[in-house]
Amino acid sequence: MDNQIKSSMEPPYVLEQYLNLLKANGLVADYKIQEENLKREVDFLTYDSKEVQKNTLFVCKGIHFLEKYLISAVENGAFCYVSEKKYESDFDYIIVKDIRQTMALLANLFYEEPWRNLNLIGITGTKGKSTTTYFVHSILDHYLKRVNKPLSAIVSGIDTYDGVISEESHLTTPEAMMLQRHFRNAVNSGIEYLTMEVSSQALKYNRVQGTVFDIGCFLNIGEDHISDAEHRDFDDYFESKLMLFAQSSTACINLDSNHIEEVLYSAEGCERIITFGTTDKAEVYGSRIIKKKEGISFIVRTPSFEQEFLLTMPGLFNVENALAAIAICYALHIPTDDIYEGLRWARVSGRMEVYQNKDKNVTVIVDYAHNRLSFEKLYASIREEYPDCHMVSIFGCPGGKAFRRRQELGEIAARYAKKVYLTEEDAGEESVDEISNEIANYIKAQNCPFEIIEDRETCIRKAIDEAEENTVILLTGKGRETRQKRGTQYVDYPSDVECVEKYL
């Protein structure tokens, strides 16, 4: 099936309308367009030369973009390109001052602001975005099934479903042009609700520019994504997260978050603020958290109800994510019974998945935890839930970004684990061995045994083979992802779950 559905869109805009939009926003540095092309209809918009079709407006973007991609695009039907630089090839062009802002504007026009026809929920935070997104998705789908309506859409760092496209994700938040395509697909598929993760990068680099969220949810903040390729310092990272409120009608805010006064101040321009957390000042207040045989129970009090909820997905820290989901659905006026049932059966692919061997004396927990906040919460929770077990850790760090994680994750793992195995985790253009040795320096400093095994599947197998009785292995970072980033490409690779099921 095609990547987009056009049936409910107006006739295509002509190239001159896109040019005028960019001029009106002060983005045009230069252009050369033949007179007949100014009145030519734009039937497709993309930055991927492989999907170009007739009458495409083609966008050149990315540090790895090569002129041969442009030539290929023109051969396949592109009739004008948009870029921050002019290429030698003699094609019609629009040169712009900021390609990211340009993509957001072009996509909003081409797809006709489809977000206006959705109940759009955006979730940001240092940890818990994926889990909260899937909790909301589960609640909404339970409600929608009951009222016989199309299931909700989701855009997350794990998977994407928009009524047309269903695929594994590689970015937490897609580029603006792909994002607006997802919105349009959802609208044309009759979908009413879309829940998505909104990363700091998406906010900083205009991927959601021009989009208004019905609900913007702020989970928490910790130091992460600090590098030359991401955020220059914590202030830049935090300020980027807070940008979500400037384009949200309702704000849902975790009162247990660090820097809460600054968060609340940033949300003052929203039409409504709903707070949640384990402090009794919260409008959605969670208390009496108890681990039971059937799961984790907790009481939630709001101005309109007080009720016990049950999470059957492991991890005491997930109560915080559940409270966020309850606050969001409370704001959307979803019936309480649907919230209860949706949460009770909620699962997140690759998140807190628990596997045991036949003798039940070795447990492997697969989770996407990949930064300081998520590591701290995960390890502390597992220590509390498995107090008499040895803990073993398997993880790596990505190449080219978030360099502080190498110290933070190494130190946390060494503090809790009896042994640490270091391995490949989307090393990209860096060496797996160099990344692993850098992490190992911080593990050695705490006298924790470690081993570096570059191939991830081999590493998982060895950790399982060497596990003593009463061991919990924490396998973090990749979950059910089926690709590794090597160089600039993603290559197919067995997921962590596949490896555990194969060797355990």
Q: What is the per-residue pLDDT across 428-485, written as a single tens digit (0 to 9) for each?
A: 999 999 999 999 999 999 999 999 999 999 999 999 999 999 999 999 999 999 999 9
Q: How many residues does the chain have?
A: 504
- Tokens of residue 81, six digits: 């390109």
For 15-100, the fitting CATH number among 3.40.50.10800, 3.40.1390.10, 3.10.20.340, 3.30.70.100 is: 3.40.1390.10
Mean pLDDT for the chain? Answer: 93
Whether the pLDDT of residue 241 is over 50: the answer is yes
Please compute the mean of the pLDDT values over residues 477-499 and round it to a whole number: 93
3-state helix, strand, coil in the chain (%, to 5): 35, 25, 40
Please compute the mean of the pLDDT values over residues 92-113 and round it to a whole number: 97
Q: Using an 8 Å Cβ cutoff, are 22 and 105 in contact?
A: yes
- Tokens of residue 431, six digits: 């060496």
Tokens 């061991």 belong to residue: 471
Read off the amino acid at residue 122. Answer: G
Asked if the domains at 15-100 and 353-503 fall in one CATH topology, the answer is: no
Please provide residue 478's backbone torsions phi and psi, each rounded to the nearest 5 degrees: -115, -25
What is the distance between the alpha carbons of residues 396 and 421, in angstroms, rounded to a whole number? 9
Three-state DSSP string of 370-398:
CCHHHHHHHHHHHHHHCCCCEEEEEECCC
Please compute the mean of the pLDDT values over residues 26-52 and round it to a whole number: 96
Weakest-pLDDT range from 261-265, 370-374, 446-450: 370-374
Q: Residue 371 has what pLDDT? A: 86
What is the distance between the alpha carbons of residues 79 and 99, in angstroms, rounded to a whole number? 18
Element (H, E) at 291: strand 284-292
Q: Using an 8 Å Cβ cutoff, are 101 and 209 in contact?
A: yes
Please compute the mean of the pLDDT values over residues 322-347 and round it to a whole number: 97
Per residue in 160-202, pLDDT (tens digit) is 999 999 998 877 899 999 999 999 999 999 999 999 999 998 9
Weakest-pLDDT range from 33-37, 126-130, 308-312, 392-396: 126-130
- Per-domain boundaries in the chain: 15-100, 114-344, 353-503
Give the ranges where 30-189 is alpha helix by DSSP (H). Answer: 35-38, 67-75, 99-110, 129-146, 176-188
Please compute the mean of the pLDDT values over residues 130-155 and round it to a whole number: 97
Helix 336-344 × helix 129-146 angle, to 10°: 120
Q: Which of 394, 456, 454, 457 is nearest to 430 (CA)?
A: 454
Whether the pLDDT of residue 5 is over 60: the answer is no
pLDDT class for 350, splitting at 50, 70, 90? confident
Helix 496-503 × helix 456-466 angle, to 10°: 40
Q: Measured in Å, how far apart are the chain's first and last C-alpha atoms?
A: 38
Helix 129-146 × helix 318-331 angle, to 10°: 50
* Predicted TM-score of the model (pTM): 0.86
Q: Residue 171 has what pLDDT? A: 76
Nearest-5° Cα angle at 390, 387 to 394? 120
- Tokens of residue 255, six digits: 């009162």
Percent of the chain with pLDDT over 90: 84
Most confident of 139-143, 220-224, 349-353: 139-143
Evaluate whether the domain defined by 353-503 bears CATH number 3.40.190.10. Answer: no
pLDDT class for 2, splitting at 50, 70, 90? very low
Nearest-5° Cα angle at 57, 56 to 61? 120
Q: Using an 8 Å Cβ cutoff, are 331 and 252 in contact?
A: yes
Q: How buried is 281 (Cβ within 10 angstroms: 0-12 exposed, 13-18 middle, 19+ buried)?
A: exposed
Read off the amino acid at residue 120. Answer: L
* Sign of torsion over alpha carbons 176, 95, 2, 107: positive
Element (H, E) at 460: helix 456-466
Q: Residue 8 has what pLDDT? A: 58
Per residue in 375-432, pLDDT (tens digit) is 998 999 899 889 999 999 999 999 988 888 999 999 999 999 999 999 999 999 999 9
Tokens 């596990």 belong to residue: 467
Q: In CATH, which superfamily holds the domain spanning 114-344?
A: Mur-like, catalytic domain (3.40.1190.10)
Tokens 């590098």 belong to residue: 227
